[in-house]
Structure 1
């Protein structure tokens, strides 16, 4: 039986804790330790419910020195992922790293270069299912040429999210890149799915340039309304538009514009609609699969899923870095926008319109212009920014 350590018990870590305790109850693994600076009330209550008394540490290195560990699950703030993942890989354990993997391209490349002896995967479960659904629908349409792949979503985050920690809603903190915004945290799974699918349509797909528009309706340092376009050397463009300050929720998903129809996938790949003109095309259902987390912790010596590997996330991290470098800092929405403290009126409709047209915010609503940045990424190696303190 495999021994597992969980790093981080808040936010997504709480969900992982629940899953790991259920797997332990089923005799699939042993959860031997938690690593966190503070285990909150919800996590403590869950441990009590399962009658689980685990060793607790504030340092992963110490936990790995005490326990013979097969796998480490990391669910901490994004800017802490690099050091933790490096520690676990060097210790020879399998790693399941919550998305986004790291915040800097140079850190991702450094992790990918480490000689990992066990599987290392990034928690993009919904991205994998979405890519599978997109590919089945594209095949059902006859694999026509694809012009644009659009990731989109309009969500509302409560004020509590931005008050819960210093890093929430920031791009930089104490000289480190955090880059917490809608497209690279809550909507990262659909952006990743769009990039991965573009790579399936065009085998040699690679970004040539990135355009971006980033705004903050809330009084935060980061963004909460953003759009980007990745233009490749060959193959479909990838567009992403999203917000965490909408008045009307638009389900996160991917919309594909092909020469003879459209494909829309939402709900983590569970809802798939393919249309040729006005006619709906049947799409085969996916076979049931075991969750990526379960596979990783119960089979730590197995091969990493190519759609969840560190290398599979390179275009996402590259795009994240390029957006921050091209824009510099988020701007403010147009004065005509009505803001009630948490939501921008009309923003949900704007996101939906951008998805339909595969367009940036300013290309649909010109009053949102003024903060469009562009950067060539053919030889891009990572973020350079005055707020970023070199290690």
Structure 2
């Protein structure tokens, strides 16, 4: 057990990494951790100014290996583009550090399995924001409504992202870049936390729940090589179907959440479990609120030798990574959205949006359908792949060379 303040390093100080930087600086200020290193290839002014406002002097590095060599490190927080996660997490685990890995954990199922096989001496957790609280809220509501048979679990969200969101890096909006899987789609990245919560709840409501079929329809309203509007349906041998539908090009925002359809009603959880509504036979059922719990980031960096949260473990993410891989493999490539996008301004920033898309997502949630089943105009893109014995993504744009830590360079970036 560490006898002094645990030393931590943050990799990636832009985007979501900036939020982690604020958290780590506060923990440093309260003497809960010692922030000894920051890793990024392009240090932004906001991060530098933030660090300078604290009594804290972490060393800046351009590569994680340099930070691990500079001083003893108890934990590494990784908030870089998704396709860099495997290399960085591997390096940190092999160095004996605990790891907090921002979602999505890795982009390839084969990389997740390789990561899980490493001899981790400390906890490794994946930061699916508020997925634990969402699952706990779903479970409480399910019990309150009599634990009825679950017909369907729907993860959903209709987001409006400014066009600048897809200029945050070369990888933004890409499925593949330079032969590597990026998978930056709405259900794979910004809405990944509700997709993960839906999959976790499916597994907790039905023992031995396992996907056997993944259907996907992936569209792009923008001029991207990846998707910005998609629906995925996951069918298991036993237990409920899981549907995920989401977009970043909506005209009307539908907040991220999970909706469960039961035999006589429905449960809806949003805002990380802080908003829970349950109905049975048309009557609202009271649900006890979920108690707040310490953040996963705090737990990992302040107690690197502690037991990992099973709902945030690498193993807990396997269905998510399998689903994203199978969806991309099934779709092959996104197709153009059947409704022409229009250009507008939201919060002073240019945005691309599709008229009626918010209502369409809401209809899919209400009916439990794919986009094409709710509106035939979106038909023709549905593809499926069986996942029994599935070992990971195979795709023409994916380099065939095996993942190898020695063949890559791990560094920070904008998340």
Alignment correspondent of 1:2:
6
**SS in structure 2 of the partner of residue 374 of structure 1:** strand
Shift of 1:169: 0.3
Which region of structure 1 is more displaced relative to structure 2, 374-383 or 337-346?
337-346
Q: 1:320 aligns with which of 321, 324, 327?
A: 324
Q: 1:367 aligns with which of 377, 390, 411?
A: 377
Distance across 2 between alignment mates of 1:351 and 1:46: 38
Higher relative contact order (CA closer than 8 Å, sequence separation 6+): 2
- Deviating beyond 3 angstroms after TM superposition, the runs of 4 or more aligned structure 1 residues are none
Question: Is contact 2:235-2:241 (8 Å) kept?
Answer: yes
Which region of structure 1 is more displaced relative to structure 2, 48-57 or 314-323?
48-57
Shift of 1:319: 0.4
Distance across 1 between alignment mates of 2:168 and 2:218: 23
Shift of 1:24: 0.6
Q: Deviations over 1:168-227 (max 9, x none)?
A: 000000000000010010000000000000001101000000000000000010000000
RMSD after superposition = 0.9
Q: Deviations over 1:95-146 (max 9, x none)?
A: 0000000000000000011111100000013111100100000011111100
- The alignment's TM-score, normalised by the length of structure 1, stands at 0.98
Q: 2:124 aligns with which of 120, 132, 136?
A: 120
Distance across 1 between alignment mates of 2:116 and 2:57: 35
Alignment correspondent of 2:41:
37
Distance across 1 between alignment mates of 2:213 and 2:46: 44
Q: 2:144 aligns with which of 140, 144, 150?
A: 140
Shift of 1:338: 4.8
Alignment correspondent of 2:390:
380
Q: 1:305 aligns with which of 299, 303, 309?
A: 309
Question: Is contact 1:152-1:252 (8 Å) kept?
Answer: yes
Distance across 2 between alignment mates of 1:288 and 1:201: 22
Alignment correspondent of 1:287:
291
Question: Is contact 1:217-1:339 (8 Å) kept?
Answer: no
Q: How does 1:181-330 map to 2 (within 5 A)?
A: 181-330=185-334
Distance across 2 between alignment mates of 1:257 and 1:263: 7
Shift of 1:53: 2.2
Distance across 1 between alignment mates of 2:220 and 2:368: 22
Paired residues, number: 390
Alignment correspondent of 1:11:
15
**SS in structure 2 of the partner of residue 65 of structure 1:** helix
Shift of 1:277: 2.3
